[in-house]
Structure 1
Amino acid sequence: MANENGRPRDTRIDSAVLDAAAELLAEVGYADLTVAAIADRAGTSRPAVYRRWPTKAHLVHEAAFRDSVTDEPPRTGVLDADIRELVRTTAELLSTPLARLAVPGLIAEAATDPTLHARLLERFAAEGWSGTDEYVRAGVESGQIRAGVDAVALIEVVIGAALVAMLVRGADGLTDAWVDRTTALVLGGIRR
């Protein structure tokens, strides 16, 4: 990636900053994490960090989810199996150790930062689970899914269920049994 001046950006700094952010997030938590500490750990400067990420929250978002795959999950064409996989992968994504530390702070900051809010939506709606809208449309056409089901609302329900379950049960509560029960509830709401 190149900056506006045309000089290529040093990707080693990007990687060092993301690594440092992840390490420090695990060590001190979101509230006590500072960009200064991240820059020091990465061996760079605060301005170098802010050139890449406008706020701590943007940086934490990238560090916590950088290795996460939120692409279109494989589809089997079997509604029960496909929805279960959507629920399972969402639970897995949100219950990683870094996500558990980052998500509460990111949610709080996204409420007041429109650019962070947009980036989170982009990851989890546009980039993440892409193809879900087409899958829902095909399911309606085949008679498996009732008309009027909105793909974005479906994803929101699954993400919301996983987030609340993590708060109530802890990350260890998102078991296979939880995935099965949540899948059954989701299917009950979308099945024709």
Structure 2
Amino acid sequence: MQSPIYLMSWVSAACAIWLVWSLGIKPLVLDAYRERLFELRFQLFQLGVDGKLSFNSDTYRTLETLLCGLLRFAHRVTLVTYALSRIEQDKAKKEPDHGNLSQQITLKISRTDPEAQEKLYKLMNELRDAIFLYIAFSSILFMLIAAAFGIAQLLGLWHPEKTKKELTGVIETEAYRTEAKRHLTLQHA
């Protein structure tokens, strides 16, 4: 006779946890992620102000477009959108004219002077860390997967750099592509 009461309490507890997650924790994680992206965009701007990277350079414009796209579409990063983006990008890799954004950015950075290269590579690593942490904490399922990977890393079973780059590359590509389309539309308007 007590089982309906227990069932109701479990359902109520699950709904309360979901409500706290959706209305409390997830918006805080999104705000922290966007704040970090603003900091990184300011660091990029500071490189331009200091004269280490020209505002007109392709490297600066690419990184600025990427950061603006990540800021604009951060709220859309969910497990479902990540999975669909991953599927679409895997299909696009089979096309002959497919370009890897991460490789293009690395090539553009390598063409800058050594001092700027060091700062830009540091900026990109911090950007990937921010994206990875946001992905890990934006979904309960992602959080469980990140916890499992964290334990594997502590045990020496997993080395995060390659996986982190692959994971964040999907988000980077989607944000860059969408923001680049927006810039083209605004230029023609």
Say which one has the larger Rg: 2
Q: TM-score by structure 1 length? A: 0.34
* Bigger helix fraction: 2
Q: TM-score by structure 2 length? A: 0.34
Higher RCO structure, 1 or 2 (CA under 8 Å, sep 6+): 2
